[in-house]
Amino acid sequence: MLPLQIHLTLPPWIGDAVDADRRYAGDEERVGLAIALSRHNLEHAGGGPFGAALFDANSGRLIAVGVNRVIPLSCSVAHAEIMAMMIAQQRLGRYRLNEDGRHYVLATSSQPCCQCYGATVWAGIDELLIGARTDDVQELTKFDEGPLPADWIGELERRRIAVRRDILRDQARTVLAAYGASGAVY
């Protein structure tokens, strides 16, 4: 019998760690939530120190969050950004979020890896907000982030996805450094 389904979950502590009713205004509040999630995931030994959050750009409403779930779910796809995008799409009932004419923002604690970079192209987001750079990830942890197109920002901008980075970069680096110092291998 071939298996025909997969069930992906976020950890139960998310409910206590995130204020789902708050409005998140501005880039720093949005990336700040993604970094807080990355720190919680490290503290709970839940997997890689990465967090993401997806917002309605205008209202600041939080649509979905994600943390890295690769090890607990035995799933190399289950990066923070992928979890947030999939859950947001299923919540709103469409595979391209901004087909309703509104604008959506994906905030992530570190620059997306090659997989999550590609996924942002299809998800219907309008803005990608980034905390730490790939150089920070590779300096402070042992993670490879994979190959990207040389002009990865331009490729997104030509598809109408704005990119802003170095948002609370030092804060994001602090979590990566704590992970590196912990000797964790997840």
Residues that bind its own copies (CB under 8 A): 1-10, 12, 14-15, 18, 20, 62, 64-65, 70-71, 73-78, 82-83, 85-87, 89-96, 113-119, 121-124, 146-150, 152, 155
- 3-state DSSP of 126-175: CEEEEEECHHHHHHHCCCCCCCCCCCHHHHHHCCCCEEECCCCHHHHHHH
Comparison of 4 and 183: residue with beta carbon closer to its own copies = 4
Comparison of 4 and 101: residue with beta carbon closer to its own copies = 4
Q: What is the closest distance, in whole angstroms, from the C-beta atom of residue 174 to its own copies in the complex?
A: 25
How many Å apart are CA 26 and CA 72, to the nearest integer?
32
How many Å apart are CA 68 and CA 75, to the nearest integer?
10
Q: What is the closest distance, in whole angstroms, from the C-beta atom of residue 77 to its own copies in the complex?
A: 5
Q: What is the closest distance, in whole angstroms, from the C-beta atom of residue 102 to its own copies in the complex?
A: 16
Report how far apart, in Å, the C-alpha atoms of 40 and of each of 44, 50, 135 are.
Answer: 6, 9, 22
Comparison of 42 and 85: residue with beta carbon closer to its own copies = 85
Q: What is the closest distance, in whole angstroms, from the C-beta atom of residue 166 to its own copies in the complex?
A: 22
Comparison of 75 and 178: residue with beta carbon closer to its own copies = 75
How many Å apart are CA 145 and CA 112, to the nearest integer?
8
